[in-house]
Amino acid sequence: MAVNLACAWHPRGEAARFQRFHGLLAAEYERMAVSVPPHADAESVAALRTLAGVSVTVTDEWSHGRYVALREAADADYVHYVDGDRLLRWVETRPDEWRAAVRAVQRADCLVIGRTAAAWETHPQALRRTEHISNTVVSHLLGQPLDLSAGSKGFSRAVVAHLLANTRPGRALGADSEWIVIAHRAGFRVEQMLVDGLDWESADRFQSAAASGEAQRAAAARYDARAESWAMRVEVAAEIVSVGLEAWQRPLTHVDEMG
């Protein structure tokens, strides 16, 4: 069974890391569909476009990134969606666990890949406390505990068809809840896998390798010390909840399963 990667990514000095891990990625994914923002570094985009099996779409609006990546990856039996910065850290630090997750994607219609307690502990308090709220609200709606904002999910071809038919680009962070609510309402079983490799990735920006635990902790402390970080994360959690609630009530278009 073929698995495509769908990846929305704003490269921040990390294109060389993607190039370094390209062989590992290509061994697991039939094709890699990467969407980047309109302001992405031109050299990084050009470098990505030289890689075999990688297609790069520069979005008109960065809020369209997740939708565009999913759409461009839709022609496989399964699609593994991962935020680009999360993917790089995961592949570098825990490649065996990442490969196991790719296998798990192929055994489920809709797989939410969430964080273990150890992975959660690496995140700033501003993320942990606000994402706890959005996860709790949407989990209650769906009737099962889910970690929706870890940046990785897996879908069968049939689920992807339903998502593309019933969602529109924009409000990208709301896709954390929207995609899963739509899959649930369309009658697909939602499952979850918890991993260590989706620990906090933002400390890796502009680095040649994944940040150490010490560097993660220092970056998390700096993040929490800024009031604007908390304000932004409250807005993100509110978007995830509001989009999830709207998706719960939205009339759905039925899509025949694609072979």
- pLDDT tens figures, 94-114: 999 999 999 999 999 999 999
Instruction: Look at strands 110-115 and 152-156 and give their pairing.
Output: antiparallel
Residue 30 lies in a domain: yes
| Amino acid identity at 186 | A
Identify whether 240 is part of a domain.
yes
**Number of domains the chain contains:** 1
Q: Note down the domain range covering 73.
A: 3-249
Q: Is residue 199 part of a domain?
A: yes
* Within-domain flag for 46: yes
Distance, CA of 180 to CA of 146 (rounded, Å): 10
The answer to whether residue 255 sits within a structural domain is no
- Separation between Cα atoms, residue 42 and residue 38, nearest integer Å: 10
- Residue 32 in domain: yes
What is the tens place of the pLDDT at every residue in 126-150? Answer: 999 999 999 999 999 999 999 999 9
Task: Answer whether residue 258 is part of any domain.
Answer: no
pTM of the model: 0.96
Q: Which CATH number does the domain housing residue 69 bear?
A: 3.90.550.10
Rounded distance between C-alpha atoms, residue 224 and residue 75, angstroms: 41
Separation between Cα atoms, residue 155 and residue 7, nearest integer Å: 13
Query: Does a structural domain hold residue 257?
Result: no
Name the 3-class secondary structure at 221.
Answer: helix
